[in-house]
Copies of this chain bind each other. A is one copy, B any other.
C-alpha cells in the first residue's frame, strides 16, 4: 500500500542530512521486579520480540522514485526484520549512568536507514544498580517529540502485576497505546491550515514562506514584547553543528521546584526555565562566552489539546511558542526567576491576543524549528531569533510499570539543528522533573557539566527564595 507523506512530515525528510539527523528519542529507566532472574533483561528482550504483527506506524518506510513522480510516499516494508530494529545492548563496567549516557549519545548520533521503517529501540543492560534501560528513536517524519514521549509511555501500566505487555510496535496494543499511536500519526498532519502546511513542506526545499508567518516574524522584529522576539545574542550554541551528539539526563523532585515557585509566586515551568537559565549562565561563564544581553529561549506552551485552539479531531499537539528572556545577564538567581516569570507572562498574553492564523504560525515554529531556521536565514535575519528551545512535556503522575518493572525515569532526546546546537526537554514523571539535554558533540563540549550546574542552580534558587 502506498500512502502519500504529508508535506510537514516530508519536510523532515528533506531537511535531514548527515550533520542533522531528524529523529527524536527517549531514554527510560526501569527497576527490575523483585525476584527477577539473573537473565531478566534477556528474557524481557525476548518477550518484547515476540510480536505477531507490527503496527502500521512501525512498518512503513519512505520511498520515492519515478513511479511516485519524485514525491516521498509511505510504503509497507515487505522485508520487515524486527531483530534489526529492536536490539539488545550492554554497558561496559563500571556501568554508571555515565556509561549509559555515552551509549545513548552514540545511538542518537546515527541516522535511521530509509530503506527500513524509521525507528530503533535498544534494551540496555549492565547498569551497576541493576536497572535496565530502554532507548528508543523515532524519525520526526513519523511523530513529533511530544507524541513520541506519549507513545513510549502509553505501553506502560500502573499495575505492577501485569505481565506479557505488548511493546509499542505490536499491532495488538492496549487501548491506551492505540490512542497514543493514532494521535501520533495524526499530529504531524494535523496543522489545519493547508496553506501553512504546504508552505512548510515547500520551505524545506528553500522555496518560500507563508505570508502569515512572515508577518508574525516581522512583528516580532518590531516589538520586543511580542510572543515572538527576534532579538537574541549570538552564542556558542548558535553555530553550524556536526553529526555527533552528546546526551545528558537527570531528574529532580518536583516538590523542590514547587516549593520555590510557591515562595516566589512563580510557576513550575518558570522554575524549570530558571534552573536552565542559571545552568546555562554558569556553563557560558566557564567557557568565557557569556553575552552581555540575555539569552532567549523558545518555550512551547499549551501542550494539552484542551488548551489549544485547534479542533479536537485534529490531534493533540498543536502548540504555541513563547520567546522567553532567560535573564542570563542578571547576577542573582531570584532576579533571573522574576525576569523569566515576567517575560513568560507577557509572552503568553501576547499569544492570547494573537489571531488563530498567527497562533498556527507559532505552532509551526514549535513543531518544526529545523524548517523555520533556514526560512529566517532566507529573510536575512542575521541574529538568531532565539538561542535554544526548552520544552516541558507533562508525563504520567503515577509510577508506571513495564512487565512488572517500575519505570524510575523518562528522559527525552531531541534534535539539535544548525544554529541551535543545544536542546533541553523536560518530562515530568511520578513526582520527578526529568531533564534531557541533547547537544552537538563539538559545539557543546562537556555537555554533562550542565547537569551539575542545574543541580547547583536548584540549590541557589532554594536559598534565594528562602526555601532552604
Contacts and interface: CB of A to CB of B under 8 A. Distances in A.
A33 interface: no
Interface stretch (A85-93, A164-172, A196-204): A85-93
Nearest to A19: B115
Interface of A: 18-19, 38-39, 41-42, 45, 79, 81, 84, 87-94, 99, 102-103, 106, 110-111, 113-116, 125-126, 242-244, 441-442
A102 B86 CA distance: 12
Given A81-B442, A92-B90, A115 B243 contact: yes
Contact of A41 (B93, B110, B113): B93
Nearest to A83: B102
Contacts of A442: 79, 81
B84 A39 contact: no
Given A81-B442, A115-B243, A106 B87 contact: yes
Most chain-B CB neighbours within 10 Å: which of A93, A102, A441?
A: A93
Nearest 4 pairs of A and B residues by beta carbon? A90-B92, A90-B90, A88-B92, A110-B110
Which secondary structure dominates chain A's binding surface?
A: loop
A93 B46 CA distance: 13
A84 B245 CA distance: 10
Contacts of A99: 88
A419 to B, nearest CB: 17
B81 A113 contact: no
Contact of A126 (B92, B242, B441): B92
Contacts of A113: 18, 242-244
A410 to B, nearest CB: 22
Given A39-B93, A89-B92, A92-B125, A115 B81 contact: no
Contacts of A114: 18
A94 B126 contact: no
Contact of A441 (B45, B81, B92, B244): B81
15 contacts: A18-B111, A18-B113, A19-B115, A38-B93, A39-B94, A41-B93, A84-B244, A87-B106, A88-B92, A89-B103, A90-B92, A92-B125, A113-B242, A113-B244, A116-B242
Nearest to A91: B90
A242 B61 CA distance: 14
Contacts of A103: 89
A99 B89 CA distance: 9
A4 to B, nearest CB: 23
Nearest to A106: B87
Nearest to A243: B113
A413 to B, nearest CB: 18
A126 B39 contact: no
Nearest to A87: B106
A147 B88 CA distance: 33
Contacts of A90: 90-93, 126
B243 A94 contact: no
Given A39-B94, A88-B102, A90-B126, 18 more contacts: A18-B111, A18-B113, A41-B93, A42-B92, A42-B93, A42-B94, A45-B92, A81-B441, A84-B244, A84-B441, A87-B102, A90-B90, A90-B91, A90-B92, A92-B125, A93-B125, A110-B110, A113-B244
A80 to B, nearest CB: 11
Contacts of A441: 81, 84
